[in-house]
Amino acid sequence: MRTKAAVAIEAGKPLEVMDVNLEGPKEGEVLVEIKATGICHTDEFTLSGADPEGLFPAILGHEGAGVVVEVGPGVKSLKPGDHVIPLYTAECRECEYCLNPKTNLCQKVRSTQGQGLMPDGTSRFSMLDGTPILHYMGCSTFSNYTVLPEISLAKVREDAPFDKICYIGCGVTTGIGAVLYTAKAEIGCRAIVFGLGGIGLNVIQGLRLAGADQIVGVDLNPAKVEMAKRFGMTDFVNPAEVEGDLVPYLVNLTKGGADYTFDATGNVNVMRTALEACHKGWGESIIIGVAPAGAEISTRPFQLVTGRSWRGTAFGGARGRTDVPKIVDWYMEGKIEIDPMITHVLPLEDINKGFDLMHAGKSIRAVVQY
Cis peptide before 340 (omega within 30 of 0): no
Q: Which strand ranges, in their side-by-side order, compose the sheet holding 125-126?
A: 2-7, 16-22, 125-126, 132-133
Q: Which of 32, 39, 40, 191 binds ligand DAO (CB under 6 A)?
A: 40
Active-site annotation holder among 37, 42, 265, 313: 42
Binding residues among 41-80 for ligand NAD as defined by CB under 6 A: 41-42, 45
Could you tell me how many residues of this chain bind ligand DAO (CB under 6 A)?
9
Contact 185, 191 (CB under 8 A): yes
Active-site annotation holder among 139, 166, 170, 189: 170
Kindly state the greatest CA–CA separation across the chain. 63
Q: Which stretch binds Zn ion (CB under 5 A): 37-45, 139-147, 230-238, 304-312?
A: 37-45
Binding residues among 85-144 for Zn ion as defined by CB under 5 A: 92, 95, 98, 106, 108
Q: Residue 27 and residue 284: Cα distance in Å, rounded?
A: 43
Q: Residue 178 and residue 231: Cα distance in Å, rounded?
A: 16
Nearest partner of 367 among 117, 166, 173, judged by Cα: 166
Contact 144, 5 (CB under 8 A): yes
Q: Which does 221 bind (CB under 5 to 8 A by kind): Zn ion, ligand NAD, ligand DAO, none?
A: ligand NAD
Q: Which stretch binds ligand DAO (CB under 6 A): 103-111, 120-128, 228-236, 362-370?
A: 103-111
Q: Residue 95 and residue 117: Cα distance in Å, rounded?
A: 19
Binding residues among 154-213 for Zn ion as defined by CB under 5 A: 170
Binding residues among 150-209 for ligand NAD as defined by CB under 6 A: 170, 174, 194-200
Contact 61, 43 (CB under 8 A): yes
Q: Looking at the annotation, which residues are catalytic?
A: 40-42, 62-63, 92, 95, 98, 106, 110, 170, 365
Residues that bind ligand NAD (CB under 6 A): 40-42, 45, 170, 174, 194-200, 218-221, 224, 239, 264-267, 270, 288-290, 313-315
Interface with ligand DAO by CB under 6 A: which residues?
40, 42, 62, 105, 107, 110, 170, 290, 314
